[in-house]
Chains A and B, each alone.
Chain A
Amino acid sequence: MSSLNRSESTKHYWRSLDHLEETPEFQEMVAKEFPAGPDGEWSDTSRRRFLQLMGASVALGTASSCRWQKETLMPFADRPEGWVPGKPRHYSTSMEVTGVGQALTVTSYDGRPTKIEGNQAHPSSLGATNSWAQAGTLGLYDPDRSRGVLALEGDKETPSSWKSFSAFSKIEFARLSATQGEGLAIVAPITSSPSFLRARRQFQKTFPKALWVDWEACSYQAEAIGTERVFGKAARGIYDLDKADVILSLEDDLMGTHPNAVRHSRDFATRRKPEDGPMNRLWVVEANHSLTGALADHRFALRSGQIGAFLVALEAELLKKGGIKIPEARQLMKNPPQGGFLAKDKVKALLKALAQDLLHAKGKSLVAVGAHQPAEVIARAHRLNVLLGSVGNTVTYADVSRIPTANLSASTELVARMRQGSVQTLITLGGNPVYDMPADLNFAAAYRKVKNRIHLGHYLDETGVVSTWHLPQAHFLECWNDSLSWNGTWTLAQPTMEPLWSGRSATELLGLVMGGETSGEAWVRQAWSDAGLGGETEWRKTVQAGFVAGSSLETLRGTSAPLPLPNMELSAWQASDSIEVTFASDPSVFDGRFANSGWLQELPDPMTKLTWDNAALMAPSTASALGLTTGSMAKFAIDDRSIEMAVYVMPGHAQGCATLPMGYGRTDAGHVAGLVADRVTPTGFNVFLLRGSEALGFSLASVQGTGETYTLVSTQDHHIIDEIGMEGRADRLGDLVRGGDLDEWEQQPDFAQHVVHHPPLKSLWEEHKYEGYRWGMSIDLSTCTGCSACTIACQSENNIPVVGKDEVFRGREMAWIRMDRYFTGSDPDEAEAVHQPVSCQQCEMAPCEQVCPVAATTHTSEGLNDMVYNRCIGTRYCSNNCPYKVRRFNYFNCNLDLEETGSEVLKLVKNPDVTVRSRGVMEKCTYCVQRIQSARIEAHTHEQKIQDGDITPACAQVCPSNAIQFGDLNDKTSKVRIAHDNDRAYAMLGELNNKPRTAFLARIRNPHPSLAAHDSQGAGEVRHG
């Protein structure tokens, strides 16, 4: 990596850069609590260790002032120019998921990345990220990552090295190139990386006969085929949600699991604040109750298989209104789809209103469709955009024909060849096909027939264990790479540290086996220079910026005249007695690749609030019809494939179908998600065992209860809530989560402030006056999507431990910012959902403060509610007295895992600016006081005042929809002050006169006038548990 030092922005580096990662020094460094960091900020006694010493015994505790163990300071032998020990540095890099790059800015302390933020300047991020990127640092330091090259034979694992592998590959691939790659196959994950694709082209030149298979569980193949039908080329719809007045999502989770969700949320949010001009209107038709559905103004729950029919019916409706012209109009008008659910008056009314709305907003409307829908549905949906004149206004179609998508036919072909034994060598470039290939292909069995099974991966996973060579893959924070973001911006990835476990990137491996360039940087630079973007200076600038400004995908021309589409096979939409199952990616672990991250496993699902498990989601009526309820096990069967899986009753889910989130039930993921070999039971259930190649999106299945039950653990409604609880909740919900419809707001903009009637709030004593700074926060419920990225960001920033399923079950989860989710509406099947992030409200008259016997939680002169861990004795009185229940208690030492041999590396993930709490102390949100302090010191050493925007708490920084504002309430011009002055602003439980510093902004919905106003929040609570 020495070449790195040439690049300006990355010159300052991990101090053990020059000696390579496998040297004993480095191992020792890892084995230490913290790397014996530059200039001794890190030393043999870490914060946690100290607290543990105190925790060790009463004697030690009482003698806490005794001199604790000797610390050593390890300065550089030669400190790099301009390196300031103890000061964080920021590197721009990126992370790629399913071929879409996310631009990131990584905070690194003394050479170890500790926090990930979005790249402010990057169009697809604008400073925000999703939770997967936030969990990146934990992934980097995951002790379960494979720590070296392994040669496997049967169950025997023999540690090997890159040297011996390259020795092997030299011979093997020399042989193969002789035969032009006959009997060679590659399974590659989806990537848009120009440098990788370049390597790939070269590879295919060297081995023309080699079979190249692109595979990932979440495929965009149908989208490619569908768009090709309409535009003649595989296209990607790039949406400008801020320009759209009317948005129709056909089971496309735009703000949830969509690859561009971060940017979508930002754009969508700009049109959800009534005071900032006209609101948009979101229509969602979907089976599962997704985050996007929760945001919708009108949501219509419909089986995935019926969505096509709904679309055709909509076309017919539009034709009737003479709004659009389509080639096959005549026969469609002759026999328009009818019957089934379309017969319902409610649906008729909905279609009418929707069509009217779309036409009314012609050119400013947008139709989005889920990538797992059949090609013809996708084609029709995108054609509608053309017909409605949205192209060029709210959506642009970009040519993605050069970006590979998961290729099912190739996969099938590969398995066939493997069965015949005509594949001698197979390289898996980072994927996990044994786990996530369609079950009917039975990849695993065929795979064993291959002689040389080479697996590159972060973990010795399901594929790894049955391979002959396992090669450690470099984490995205460890290697050079590049990718295209959703809108095609060429985004670079630079390593933020030397590979911990000698990992290499896919590109580097390709280079190795081709006997070509093995330096990832060289590949990226090559791609760069091919693009002719300039010399060294520009290169450095680009690396520093993290992306090539202005670069984008090629926009499709001539999308105005779409090709006619064949009549669609509409059989699926007639209600059938067997249940339809939809295979969905999971918001926490996606397709299973993030499964071994404790943060993501414990992150409650935004809708179900489930942790550590997935479950089959069903509508209440469907579940009861099948005699199932939350927690009961059910057997799902398609053909000869079947799985048993726990059921979760999801209010608002479409009837007659179930949603099965993928990515769980990993048998060889690691000690977090499951490692059967080590008797670590897998979390959740493996849905891939059911998923067949005949239908990757959804298909019909038979379902029946097994009579067994399973403990699903959620962070909300830990136990099923009885009638009284239901009534009580429904009764108060309107007060807690305030909101209303647009017309309500128009009549009385400050309606939210008059929801609760209480006597005037008077204090018995003279209240403290806050001169100087007066920190405050605001959370806009109108724009909050509930994505829960804030929870993970907070966890990463504040060293919040993971407690595990059992403790969550006991109700001891530690998240400082809680994403409360409530269902409303009188009919469980039609329920709507609202989200409300709740963290410490920093009350000016904090109830917690006065009850603490040792003054461990006190008020600052700036109105912060300080929590002093090292003073806390753990009476938990403060938590009892907190009306928001945002305080968290360390019932055990949650950091014991750091002590386990082999897990020490986990210590590197801790943020050095935040004390790591030990057993028996209370903790809670501090508004990221460490950030406030560093900003203060920065400003005051230069004798300036802290400006608005100098401080951003982790939650506000990550928020994709900018729902969270933070700043000085005494500054009339600060964003947060403006938010507090907003008519929609209200204080939750303000009637208690706690004077919370966090204000919520009421949620405004924008329903279609012609449709009867649905019950607004809190109108009625539905049962669920």
Chain B
Amino acid sequence: MSQYHFPRWSNKIRPLLAVVTLVGPVYLTGVVLYGASPETLNVGYAPEQPVPFSHKLHAGDLKMDCRYCHTTVEESAQASIPPTKTCMNCHDRIHTESPRLEKVRESAKTGQSIPWVRVHDLPDYAYFDHSAHVTKGVSCVECHGRVDQMDVVEQVAPLSMGWCLDCHRSPESHLRPVEEVTNMSWTSEIDREELGAKLRKVHNIHPRQDCSTCHR
């Protein structure tokens, strides 16, 4: 009877098969890992805000200190979005007619909140405390980037667990003198590792890597 044999050409694709079987899985894992990583998904997230507030203008050009608005950053877990009142401190005199500030004036009038869109959004089971970091010389820049250069705030760091741990394992290169914390453009004269090591001693900083540090 007629035996079934692989056709001649099938010999040609054999090496290809080999390649696919070997490289394929590796490639796929790679794609998935990259595609699912916070770097890919979250970095660069810059939602449109109800009020086109420009950090570049206020923090950058006008050189306002972060803490003028984010008042509780040093005492609470939350840096806290400023109340409308804070805006009105100036804007009841400046740009009182500007249509871009309509929502702000309305809020000030009605007492209703302005629904800002959260940019830096940690999972709800991760507990981050601003005060714990800021008072130890971890600058806003480390996580939020050069906000003073952003017209629209966007996420620059992946804010992934691994990313947090990197710093918790070796914080030196992310530390700076506490008084410089909100100075976006600060640069160290000496090597940061070196400086960081010093500061670490001074404030006796021992970032913890226990699960309960962030998960409760």
Contact = CB atoms under 8 A, between A and B. Distances in A.
Question: Touch between A and B in complex, CB under 8 Å?
Answer: yes
Interface of A: 18-19, 25, 36, 39-41, 43, 45-47, 49-51, 63, 65-68, 70-79, 84-87, 858, 860-862, 864, 866, 868-871, 913-915, 926, 929-930, 932-933, 937, 940-941, 943
Contacts of B74: 941
Interface residues of B, number: 50
B110 A77 contact: yes
B212 A78 contact: no
Given A930-B216, A937-B129, 11 more contacts: A41-B77, A46-B124, A63-B36, A67-B41, A70-B118, A77-B83, A77-B112, A84-B76, A87-B76, A869-B215, A871-B211
30 contacts: A18-B111, A39-B72, A40-B81, A40-B118, A47-B124, A47-B125, A51-B125, A65-B36, A66-B41, A67-B41, A71-B117, A72-B115, A72-B118, A74-B113, A74-B115, A75-B83, A75-B84, A77-B83, A77-B113, A85-B80, A87-B75, A862-B210, A868-B215, A869-B215, A870-B123, A915-B124, A915-B215, A926-B216, A941-B135, A943-B204
B145 interface: no
Contact of A86 (B76, B115, B118, B203): B76
Interface string B172-206: 00000000000000000000000000000001100
A868 B83 contact: no
Nearest to B47: A70
Contacts of B132: 937, 940-941
Contacts of B83: 75-79
B27 interface: no
A833 B17 CA distance: 75
Interface string B121-145: 1011101010110011000000000
A45 B117 CA distance: 13
Contacts of B125: 47, 50-51, 869-870, 915
Contact of B107 (A41, A77, A864, A913): A77
Interface in B74-119: 74-78, 80-85, 107-108, 110-118
A844 B179 CA distance: 41
Contact of B80 (A67, A75, A868): A75
B170 interface: no
Contact of B72 (A85, A866, A932): A85
Contacts of A930: 127, 216
Contacts of A47: 124-125
A71 B216 contact: no
Nearest to B204: A943
B38 interface: yes
Contacts of A940: 132, 136
Contact of A913 (B117, B136, B211, B216): B216
Contacts of A51: 124-125
A82 to B, nearest CB: 10
B87 to A, nearest CB: 10
For the complex of A and B, the 3 pairs showing the least CB-CB separation, nearest first, are: A860-B210, A47-B124, A74-B113
B163 interface: no
A50 B78 CA distance: 20
A76 B114 CA distance: 8
Contacts of A43: 118
A412 B115 CA distance: 60
Q: Which of A45, A73, A84, A864 has the most CB of B within 10 A?
A: A73
Which residue, of B78, B116, B124, has the highest number of chain A Cβ atoms within 10 A? Answer: B124
Interface in B48-86: 72, 74-78, 80-85
Contacts of B42: 67
A583 B107 CA distance: 59
B169 interface: no
B110 to A, nearest CB: 7
Given A76-B83, A85-B72, A941-B135, A67 B117 contact: no
A937 B112 contact: no
A91 B41 CA distance: 43
B212 A864 contact: yes
B81 A866 contact: no
A912 to B, nearest CB: 10
A868 B131 CA distance: 23
Given A913-B127, A914-B216, A72 B77 contact: no
Which of A50, A862, A933 has the most C-beta atoms of chain B within 10 angstroms of its own C-beta? A933
A868 B85 CA distance: 40
Given A861-B210, A926-B212, A73 B116 contact: yes
Given A74-B113, A860-B211, A933-B212, A86 B38 contact: no
Nearest to A43: B118
B101 to A, nearest CB: 14
Given A86-B76, A860-B210, A871-B211, A75 B116 contact: yes
A407 to B, nearest CB: 49
A150 B208 CA distance: 56
Contacts of A861: 208, 210
Given A75-B82, A75-B116, A866 B203 contact: no
Contacts of B72: 39, 84-87
A70 B115 contact: no
Contacts of B131: 937, 941
Contacts of B211: 858, 860, 866, 868, 871
Nearest to A938: B131
A943 B203 contact: yes
Contacts of A36: 113
B176 to A, nearest CB: 17
B153 to A, nearest CB: 12
B181 to A, nearest CB: 13
A86 B80 contact: yes
Contacts of B41: 65-67
Contacts of B75: 84, 87
A329 B154 CA distance: 92
A163 B131 CA distance: 48
B117 A860 contact: no
A933 B45 contact: no
A50 B116 contact: no
Nearest to B72: A84
A941 B78 CA distance: 14
A40 B77 CA distance: 12
Given A86-B77, A926-B216, A866 B210 contact: yes
